[in-house]
Amino acid sequence: MPALSARLRLVLLRIPRRLWFRAALYALVGVGTALLGTLLRPWLPVGVATRIGASAVGNILGILASSMLAVTTFSLSTMVAAYSTAGSNATPRAAILLVEDSIAQRALATFIGVFLFSVVGLIALSTGIYGGSGRVVLFGVTIVMIVVIVVTLLRWIEQLSKLGRVAETIDRVEHAARRALQERAAAPSLHAADWEPPPPDALALHGTQVGYIARVDLPMLQSLAEDHGLTVWVEAEAGHFATPEQPLARLSGRPEPAVREQFLDAFVITDQRDFEQDPRFGLVVLTEVAQRALSPAVNDPGTAIDVLGTVTRLLCDWAAVARHAAGDGHRPRPEPRYPRVRLRSLDPRDLLEDVYAPLARDSAGMLEVAIRLHKSLATLAALGNPALRDAAHAQATRALQIADAQLVLAQDRDRLHQLAAWRNAT
């Protein structure tokens, strides 16, 4: 059904990252493994079970069931405490990345799966459905489960030493932001046609929901545009705050109201921003971590400096991928996958404003952070991207104006002006 395709695709992409999905999957595997002995019983020799009593297997399963229940409860409480710590010490927007941590999900799912395996095995033993041969299979699988638990526990202990720490949170946000930024750098218009201003008579499509655009289904827009012979200009992409007053898109024609609703269904609006199609969100979250560190309650300029280094690394990598994708002019550009859809590429001014504008304001009175900020802008300006250089020039000028009003010592102000002397050479 076309009206559900965009939302359904987003839901299907997010389900495997949910904590309950992996736990439920491992639980089903545990139940199935416990019942495996009843299926393999006819193919095993009867005499092989004489040395393994039901009480021996039952005792082991009892120990596993009780210990896994305790470990699962402890793991859940630890994860909740880590999420709370990350939200208070870093930013609540980064908590979703901790929830989607694959190691934590795998550990919790393994504990739940082994617990259900043990319970089902005990029930099956008490009913006698295994028999002698089936009990051998259950014993062998139990040994395998013990090995799996040991390996999982070792990895989980290592993960517990990092979970919820500010440095670990920054690394996770950096990874999510890099994935989105490099995808956008490799395809500035997300494989749509290059942006051109729509004609004055283009039809504006207004939605009725208020919230953040989590996803724009470009394949759906391309399919609808082909079916009706239209061109679509995407005015609001992922991360944009949608309101009924602002158009989400514009069309080259005047389709029927039902067709307009199908175009609007390609825009998935939710209550919160998402990292996947929104590269600016990762930079915003990193900036929030630095702002929290610069607050008087925390007073941790080192974390702000760490964030500035992370942002510099991300934007340098983004510029390198974008330069490689643009080529040297000797090779033809690939044809867009969605030629009837036009989408803006990322504006370096927006990227730098998301980070340097708030940090220049909050760190104006801290010389060490202001120095790192101007060094970061100088690095970005030297990458050879004219748009990025102009954006860095504007942010450096603004940061100097704020610092001049906040720094007490004239020598501190002079040092910052010396660091920003690159502006005069560009």
* Pairing of the two strands 211-216 and 267-270: antiparallel
Q: Answer yes or no: are the C-beta atoms of 113 and 29 closer than 8 Å.
A: yes
d(CA 330, CA 332): 7
d(CA 164, CA 261): 43
> Among 72-76, 242-246, 318-322, 374-378, whose mean pLDDT is lowest?
72-76
> Among 111-115, 222-226, 332-336, whose mean pLDDT is lowest?
332-336
Residues with Cβ within 8 Å of residue 27, at least 6 apart in sequence: 109, 112, 113, 116
Residue by residue, DSSP assigns 357-368 as: HHHHHHTTT-HH
Tell me: pLDDT of 330 over 60: no
Is this prediction's pTM over 0.95?
no
pLDDT the model gives residue 301: 92
**Model confidence band, residue 228 (pLDDT cutoffs 50, 70, 90):** very high
Helix (H, G, I), strand (E, B) or coil at 232: strand
At 391-409, the pLDDT tens digits run: 999 999 999 999 999 888 8
CATH architecture, domain 189-270: Alpha-Beta Complex (3.90)
